[in-house]
Amino acid sequence: MRDSTPTISDVARLAQVSPGLVSRLLNGDTSLRVRSETEERVRAAAKELDYSPNAVARALRRARSGLIAIGVHDAGNPIYSAITEGAEAAASEAGYALMLADVDALAHDDAAFRRVVAGGAIDGLLLQRAGTESDALIAKIASRTVPTVLLNDRTRGSIGSIAVDDYAAAHVATSHLAELGHRRIALLQVDGPKSRTDRRRRGWEDALAAAGLVPDPALIANGGHTPEDGANGMRTLLAKGGFTAVFVANILSAIGAVSRARDSGRTVPDDLSVVAMHDFGLAAYLSPTLTTVRLPLREMGARAVGMLLEQLDGGAATHEVVSSPAPLLVVRDSTRPVSGSPR
Amino acid sequence: MRDSTPTISDVARLAQVSPGLVSRLLNGDTSLRVRSETEERVRAAAKELDYSPNAVARALRRARSGLIAIGVHDAGNPIYSAITEGAEAAASEAGYALMLADVDALAHDDAAFRRVVAGGAIDGLLLQRAGTESDALIAKIASRTVPTVLLNDRTRGSIGSIAVDDYAAAHVATSHLAELGHRRIALLQVDGPKSRTDRRRRGWEDALAAAGLVPDPALIANGGHTPEDGANGMRTLLAKGGFTAVFVANILSAIGAVSRARDSGRTVPDDLSVVAMHDFGLAAYLSPTLTTVRLPLREMGARAVGMLLEQLDGGAATHEVVSSPAPLLVVRDSTRPVSGSPR
DNA sequence: GTGAAAGCGCTAACAA
DNA sequence: TTGTTAGCGCTTTCAC
C-alpha cells in the first residue's frame, strides 16, 4: 500500500505507458486509438491504485477551476436556499462544485474578494441580487474578471441575469383574490430593485383591472422581505384600512404580516385574506396555512448555472426569465371568499 | 491596459526584481530583509497591475487548496443553514472558502465524490450527521483522505466531531415546563444517532426527576425532524393522551406537532404547552409564537472550521461540545402554567 | 538583499 | 498507436 496519493505518473508506470496516454484515456479523448489491451492495462492500474486526478493540477493546466461561486445575502432565507440547492445540483451534475460566499463580505473585505473572485479561483459567479449597494458594486467589478449571472434580476446589459416571472406571480395571486370576490385588494411589496417592484405592481394592477377593479395607490405599502418588515408593512396598511385582502410579495414578509394582523385583532382569513409570493414547506403548517404562489426557484438556480457554463463555452451573456413551471397557486387556508364590508 | 490577468512575473518584471522576491514580499515572509525602496517598487507594481495571486497555482505549489467542503442533507433546513453560515464566516475569516456538497450526491455518485473529496480539491470536510447510512459511509471513506469533522455528532474516534449540548437543551426545556406546573410532560424525539437521542432523553428524564416527576416511557414518541414527522409524532402521542406539555427535540418538528394538535382540537398553549429545541427567526411570528431553546449553531459551524484548521496544522482530531453560549430558553406563547387536568 | 532554478500534477501539441 | 516535451503560476531552497 502506498502512503501518498497516487499521481498520473504512478498509474502510467504501473500500466507501462506514458502519463500523456493515461490522461487522454481517462478523459475519454475520442481522437484516441488505443489498443484495447493497453486500455485495459491502464484502467486496471488506475483502479488498483484508486487513482483520482488531482483537481488543482488539472485546474491549473486547463485554466479552469471547476468552481462556481454563489454570492448570497442570507443563506438561511428559504427562498435563497432553494435557489442555492438548484444551483448546487446543476453544478454537481455538470462536474462543477459550488462555493458559498457572503456578498457583504465580498463587498467589504478586499482580500476575500480577491481570493474568491480575482485569483482565478472560480470559473463563474452567481450573484444574489437583493437591491443593496454591495450587489451592484460586486457585480460590476466581478463581471470584468469572470462570467457572472445575476439572480433574481432582469438587468439588461453585459452581465447575464435570470429571474422568475414576477409579473405572472403577482397576477395569479391577485386574480385569485379577485375571484374570491374581494374588491379592495392591497399590495405589500418588497423594496428590491425598482424594475422588479414595478413588475409585481403591474401584475397586481393588471389583475385588478381584468376583474374590473381599480388599483388604489393607497393600498400599497412596503412589506420588505423579513417577517419584521412584513409586520411593519401590515401595520401601515391597517392604519389606512379599507381592504379585505392582500397580496404579499414575499413569503417571510407574509408571515410577519399575518402575525401583525392577528395582533391587531384581525382574523385571517375571516377578516382578511392573504396570498404570499413564494412557497415553502412550512407554509402548510402555519396557522392559518398560507395560500401561496409557488415559483421555480430551484429551476432558476439550475438554469443560472447552465447560463454560466454557456458563457464559459464562449457564449454571450443572456437574460432569461424562468417561466416553466409557471407560477402555481397553492390554495390553503389564508384566503376565502369575501364576507361583509371592508374594515 | 493589459488584456490578460497579470502574473507574478509581470509584477516582477515591472518592479525589476525576481518573481521569487515578489512572492516572499507579498506573502509577508518575515525572514526577508528587503531594501525598503525595493519593497515599495514591488508593492507599487502589484498595485498598478492590480495583481491577485492565482489561487490555483498557489494551491498546487502549496498542496493546499484553501477550500473546505461542507456536506449537508438539506440546505433549506434553517438549523443546517445556521451551521453553514457560521462555517462560511469562519472559513472566510481564515482565508478559506466554503464549498457546498450534497451528502447524498456524495454517497451515490462516485464521480462527484472523487471530484470533491479525493482529488486534493479540498483541505477538509465538514459533514452534517443526520444519522443516515450515507453519513457513516462518507465519513469513513472521506476521513482516510482528508481531515474530517462530523457536525452534530459526538462519535469518539479518529474522526473529529462537534455537537451542541443536547442534554442541557433538553433539560432546560423540560425544566421550564415542570416549573410551569406541568406534571405529565411528553417527549417528541428525533430519530437521529442513538447516542444523541439518548442524551436528549436523559435531559428530559433528569429534569423530570429533579422536579420530582417520574418519566413515563409511554409519553415518548418519535417526532423526526420535519413538520410532517412532527405531526405524525403528535398524532401518536395524542392517541395515548395523558399529558399537558411536550418537549419537541426539533423546531421544524415542533411546528408540525403544534399544527397537528390544533387540527385535533387542542389549543396551544391552553390545552398543551410546547417547547421546541432550536430557535429561528420565524418562531416569533408563528401562531402561537413558539417557546424555544436557542443553541449555538453558528458557533458550532465556526468552531468546526477551527478544528479542521487545527488538524491541518498537524493537530489530532478532537471531539468537542459547544457549550457557550449555553442553551438559552426563549419563552414565548406556546407555554403557560398548567391548567385543569390532563386530557 | 536578491536571483536562479526546480517542480507541484496535469494536459495538449507535436513527434515518432 | 504511443511517447516526449513544455509549461500553466506559484513558492521555496540554495546560491551568490
Asked if the Cβ–Cβ distance from A121 to B60 is below 8 Å, we say no
Asked if the Cβ–Cβ distance from B98 to A99 is below 8 Å, we say yes
Footprint of strand D on the protein (CB under 7 A): A 16-21, 32-35, 37-39, 60-61, 63; B 7-9, 19-20, 22-24, 26-27, 29, 53-54, 57-58, 60-62
Does the pLDDT at position A341 exceed 80?
A: no
Does the pLDDT at position A340 exceed 60?
A: no
Alpha-carbon torsion A16, A20, A26, A31, what sign?
negative
Show residues of chain A in contact with B286, CB under 8 Å: 255, 259, 286-287
Which nucleotide has the shortest C1'-to-CA distance from B58? D10
Edge to edge, the sheet with strand B245-248 lists B220-222, B185-189, B245-248, B273-277, B291-294, B328-330
C-beta separation of A83 from A52 below 8 A: no
Burial class (CB in 10 A: 0-12, 13-18, 19+), B191: middle
Provide the 3-class DSSP secondary structure of residue A132: coil
Q: Tell me how many residue pairs between chain A and chain B have CB atoms under 8 A apart.
A: 168
* Whole-number Å distance between alpha carbons of B83 and B149: 13
Which nucleotide has the shortest C1'-to-CA distance from A41? D2
Q: Which of A3-12, A59-68, A217-226, B238-247 has the lowest mean pLDDT?
A: A3-12
Does the pLDDT at position A309 exceed 80?
A: yes
Show residues of chain A in contact with B81, CB under 8 Å: 75-76, 81
Q: How many Å from the CA of A18 to C1' of D4?
A: 9
Nearest C-alpha neighbor of A204 from the set A219, A193, A194, A192: A219
- Average pLDDT score over residue span A159-175: 97
The cell for B257 is 406537532
Asked if the Cβ–Cβ distance from A262 to B112 is below 8 Å, we say no
Distance from the Cα of B168 to chain A's closest Cα (Å) equals 25
C-beta separation of B159 from B257 below 8 A: no
Distance from the Cα of B52 to chain A's closest Cα (Å) equals 5
Q: Give the nearest chain A residue to B230 (CA atoms).
A: A285
Asked if the Cβ–Cβ distance from A65 to B82 is below 8 Å, we say no
Task: Report the pLDDT value the prediction gives residue A139, as an integer from 0 to 100.
Answer: 78
Provide the 3-class DSSP secondary structure of residue A33: coil
pLDDT digits (tens, 9 = 90+) for B20-73: 999 999 999 999 999 999 999 999 999 999 999 999 999 999 999 999 999 999
**Cα angle A105-A106-A111, degrees, rounded to a multiple of 5:** 95
Task: Report the pLDDT value the prediction gives residue B2, as an integer from 0 to 100.
Answer: 43
Q: What share of chain A is helix, strand, coil (3-state, %, to 5)?
A: 50, 15, 35
- Average pLDDT score over residue span B234-257: 97
* Whole-number Å distance between alpha carbons of A35 and B254: 63
List the beta bridge partners of residue B200: none
Distance from the Cα of B284 to chain A's closest Cα (Å) equals 9
Edge to edge, the sheet with strand A273-277 lists A220-222, A185-189, A245-248, A273-277, A291-294, A328-330
Distance from the Cα of B328 to chain A's closest Cα (Å) equals 20
Show residues of chain B in contact with A121, CB under 8 Å: 55-56, 66, 97
- Average pLDDT score over residue span B306-335: 96
pTM, to two decimals: 0.94
Does the pLDDT at position A81 exceed 80?
A: yes
C-beta separation of A156 from A314 below 8 A: no
Q: Give the nearest chain A residue to B289 (CA atoms).
A: A259
Q: How many Å from the CA of A20 to C1' of D4?
A: 9
Does the pLDDT at position B205 exceed 90?
A: yes
Asked if the Cβ–Cβ distance from B52 to A118 is below 8 Å, we say yes
> Which of B5, B56, B280 shows the shortest C-beta gap to A65?
B56
| C3 C1': nearest CA residue | B18
Task: Report the pLDDT value the prediction gives residue A2, as an integer from 0 to 100.
Answer: 43
Asked if the Cβ–Cβ distance from B285 to A111 is below 8 Å, we say no
C-beta separation of B208 from B214 below 8 A: yes
Does the pLDDT at position B180 exceed 70?
A: yes
Task: Report the pLDDT value the prediction gives residue B3, as an integer from 0 to 100.
Answer: 56
Task: Report the pLDDT value the prediction gives residue B133, as an integer from 0 to 100.
Answer: 77
Task: Report the pLDDT value the prediction gives residue A201, as an integer from 0 to 100.
Answer: 97
Q: Give the nearest chain B residue to A93 (CA atoms).
A: B112
Asked if the Cβ–Cβ distance from B55 to A105 is below 8 Å, we say no
* Average pLDDT for chain A: 94
* Whole-number Å distance between alpha carbons of B335 and B176: 9
Task: Report the pLDDT value the prediction gives residue A86, as an integer from 0 to 100.
Answer: 97
Determine what percent of chain A is predicted with pLDDT higher than 90: 85
pLDDT digits (tens, 9 = 90+) for B76-134: 899 999 999 999 999 999 999 999 999 999 999 999 999 999 999 999 999 988 777 77
Task: Report the pLDDT value the prediction gives residue B343, as an integer from 0 to 100.
Answer: 43
C-beta separation of B280 from B79 below 8 A: yes
Asked if the Cβ–Cβ distance from B285 to A227 is below 8 Å, we say yes
- Average pLDDT score over residue span B172-196: 94
Residue owning grid cell 409557488? A294
Does the pLDDT at position A3 exceed 60?
A: no
Which nucleotide has the shortest C1'-to-CA distance from A37? D1
pLDDT digits (tens, 9 = 90+) for B67-91: 999 999 988 899 999 999 999 999 9
Task: Report the pLDDT value the prediction gives residue B212, as an integer from 0 to 100.
Answer: 97
Provide the 3-class DSSP secondary structure of residue A119: coil
Q: Where does A221-280 have alpha helices with state H?
A: 227-240, 251-263
Which nucleotide has the shortest C1'-to-CA distance from A61? D8
Residue owning grid cell 425598482? A194
Asked if the Cβ–Cβ distance from A285 to B256 is below 8 Å, we say yes
Does the pLDDT at position B275 exceed 50?
A: yes
Q: Of residues A342 and B62, which shows the higher confidence score?
A: B62
Q: Where are the beta strands (DSSP E) in A172-297?
A: 185-189, 220-222, 245-248, 273-277, 291-294
* Average pLDDT for chain B: 94
Task: Report the pLDDT value the prediction gives residue B130, as an integer from 0 to 100.
Answer: 78
